[in-house]
Structure 1
Amino acid sequence: MFSKSSEIKGEIMTLEELEKRHRELSARVDENFEEIEKVADESMRVAEVAEKTPTIIKDLNREFESITKLTSTDVAFLFVATAMQIVRQYLLTQFPERMDDQEAAKGTKGHNEEHSDRKHRYYKPSVEEIICNPVPFDANRGADGALSGGGKMGHRVTALGHDPVIGLAVGTCNIATSTLTTNKLQSYHIFTDQDKRDAFRNKASTIKIFEESGDKILNQGMEGKIIMGTSLVKEIIHLKSDIHTKHSLPLPAVSMIDGKLASKLASYGLDMSNVASVTKQATMSILINTIIAMIHGLFAPEEMSGDLYEVRTRRILSYSNVIASSSNLIYVGANLAGGNESALKSLDIGGLIVTCYRVATDSKFIQAAKQEFIEKKYFEQIRGEAE
């Protein structure tokens, strides 16, 4: 029996206070037991989830595929994208027919009838002379070996004015000074011979060619700027007229390293005509993919996350590119087997490169999106947030 008071921990407590303390301790014990039961139940639930992990992953994988599978609208986009790629392959980006130099020049916008009538002013031709005369780096009369080493491509390799990139600088300065600079950086004055054709005269200073060109821009007022501007336009027109000729143009800068190598690469098909055609194919293929992706993005449901919808977009692009490239390879292969070599001009190399890139990158994106989706859903089940 308790007395009216007891001493607990040095304190005198009444019977009522002891009973209150007892009730509080009992309540805490009950709460602790409830927490223990909750922890035990949660541990059992998590254990069950862990035990069913393979099944859960399969279910989530099926859910992902169900959410990201192509709808009827997506299939319509797929057909349109495939059709656009096929139309591009056969109507817009075929390899062009190779022409001879004269025929190509006539078909180039901005090209004028030209004849050699140079006034022999060293480094200082007039604007009229620049416009009416051929580009000086097409001269080969009297070269006396200066243009040797170009192989089958000849002066297209050894005259730097024909380099698709370096020529924009060197060729422009050659035109502005009536000179020719070789891939060995040797320069020559070009003059009009008795037959009214361009010919080599004597050596010129390569440094002075650039000095004179710079002086026209900086110190010769508007006339000098017009001369340089006209020379640049003439250089661009000339490169454009040469690019799809039978010998085309060498790859940029290779001529300066090794003229024979540039010519050999061209004999294997690595010239600027083919590079330009493949680049055009790839660029237009990418453009079509971009347009389809942008328009398809406008149809995204509000309740669907961006990454999951993008999976559908990327599937459309990958499938359409694969179908178009496969059909192109089958068409070209069948025609070649039948002896129709002209079908090679329809070979969509640029599109095939884009297709390989899309398949690799889109597959990687889809796999990453699937992994993120499954992990998120799985951990929701682990945390007990999923129904």
Structure 2
Amino acid sequence: MNKYEKLRAKKNQALEGAKQDISNMQTVASESYRVAKVAANAQNIINDIDKKFASVTKLDSVDVKFLFFATALQCIRQYWLTNDSLRVGDQEASKFVKKYVPISLAGPVPYDAFKKEGFIGNTGISGANHRYTTLGHDPLLGWIFGTANILTDTVTKNNFLLESYNTVLVGNEYKICEATNIGHIFLESVDRVQKDYKDLILAVMKHAVHLASDAFTTMGLPIPIINSLSPDLSSKLLKNGIDVYSVTRGIAVSSFINMLIAAIHGLFYNPAQYSSREIYEVKTRKILSYSNSIASASNVIYVAISASLGNESALKQLDVGGILVTIYRLITDTKFINQVKEEFLEKEFHTIVMGTDYDF
């Protein structure tokens, strides 16, 4: 290669480099213009992505069928499991416990006492109200006060002064014999436990057995906190079967239905149709939230109308457990959907801003 050809090769190489630089500058300018355009129309782009998310997570015909099925199951549950259903009488519960539990644990407890033995004062405790007027029957506080009552053969009322009474075992039931105070009860309880810690274990076990036997009876056990704040309200709830058993049962069965629907709906997930499992789960969560809301709303409306028409037992149909599950689902599902939506918006917007890859 002569000198002239070398110079021409260098010139061509320089021209190619210049062309590449110009092309790169055009690419940068074009990309800058595109990004500037994206920035200027950011709100419109976000709105479009928002619409895309709504379209992707919109309930289709299959989802609507799941929604109707889930709602039907919840309504059937409400109709079948009323607050006063699947219960036993006090005597039946007592016989069952005595049949399978040692007599040392199945015997009477002092906080069941309402009759008197040599005591003439007015205690305010009766057979009809002792479940919500004595702390031993409180599902939470009862583990403290009920256990102490068993250790000391006493009964403590559910009021500000914590009125307490000594009891005496007459035959097969405890009867109130004299007044005492909560301080003396706790001191005596500590003293007895210090002498023999096994007494505490037996007292706790006996309390647990008694609560378990009371829970499924017609009168039931009062709802914690409400029972402490307002015994009168607790009394009204108990009379309508709204107690620990009916509420926890409603929560458990409603949650089981939700889990069943979620599991079956999850089997219809198609990776080719949805960008991620989370996107599909948004639809599942919508089905659960909508079905629970419809069922709970219809239940509240039915109870309200029945009560206004003079049905005194209308509250026995109120699905408190299901309503609590609905509130929980609305809070948690809304939080999950918003989180997935936020991630979807960020991912889509990032893709639009970054554009296609280019090489300088």
Superposition TM-score tier, normalisation by shorter sequence: 0.7 to 0.9
The equivalent position to 1:200 in structure 2, one of 174, 177, 181, is 177
Shift of 1:318: 1.7
After TM superposition, the structure 1 = structure 2 runs for residues 1-387 of structure 1, keeping only pairs within 5 Å, are 24-50=13-39, 56-92=45-81, 94-96=82-84, 104-108=89-93, 110=96, 134-137=108-111, 138-141=113-116, 142-145=118-121, 147=123, 155-156=130-131, 159-172=134-147, 174-175=149-150, 179-183=153-157, 184=162, 188-192=166-170, 198-200=175-177, 206=185, 207-213=187-193, 215-218=195-198, 228=203, 231-232=206-207, 234-237=209-212, 239-240=214-215, 244=219, 249=222, 251=224, 262-266=230-234, 269=237, 274-276=242-244, 277-303=246-272, 304=274, 305-385=276-356
Counterpart CA distance in 2 for 1:80 and 1:352 is 18
1:273, CA displacement in angstroms? 5.5
Q: State how far apart, in whole Å, the 2-side matches of 1:58 and 1:27 are.
A: 44
Matched residue, 1:4: none
- Residue 54 (structure 1) shift: 5.6
When normalised by structure 1's length, the TM-score is 0.69
Asked if 2 retains the 8 angstrom alpha-carbon contact of 1:329 and 1:347, the reply is yes
Q: How far 1:293 moved relative to its partner?
A: 1.2
C-alpha displacement of 1:85: 0.5
Shift of 1:37: 1.7
Maintained 8 Å contact 2:139/2:211: no
Of all paired residues, the percent bearing the same amino acid is: 35
Q: Secondary structure at the match of 2:269?
A: coil
Aligned length: 339
Normalising by structure 2, we get a TM-score of 0.73
Helix, strand or coil at the partner of 1:341: coil
Cα distance in 2 between the residues matched to 1:298 and 1:57: 32
Deviation at residue 299 of structure 1 after TM alignment: 1.9
Equivalent AA in structure 1 for residue 170 of structure 2: T
Amino acid at match of 1:274: I
Structure ID, larger Rg: 1
Query: C-alpha separation between the residues in 1 aligned to 2:339 and 2:33?
Result: 31
Offset of 1:170 from its aligned partner?
A: 4.0
Does the Cα contact within 8 Å between 1:249 and 1:271 map onto a contact in 2? no
| Structure 1 residues 234 and 215, CA gap change in structure 2 (3 angstroms) | farther
* Aligned alpha-carbon RMSD (Å): 4.3
Tell me how far apart the structure 2 counterparts of residues 312 and 235 of structure 1 sit (CA, whole Å): 45
Distance 2:54 2:226 in 1: 50
Question: Is contact 1:85–1:324 with CA below 8 Å preserved after alignment?
Answer: yes
Q: Which amino acid aligns with 2:259?
A: T
Say if 2:222 and 2:243, in contact at 8 Å, map to a contact too.
no
Question: Contact conserved, 2:165 with 2:177, CA < 8 A, in 1?
Answer: no
Q: CA contact under 8 A between 1:173 and 1:231: conserved in structure 2?
A: no
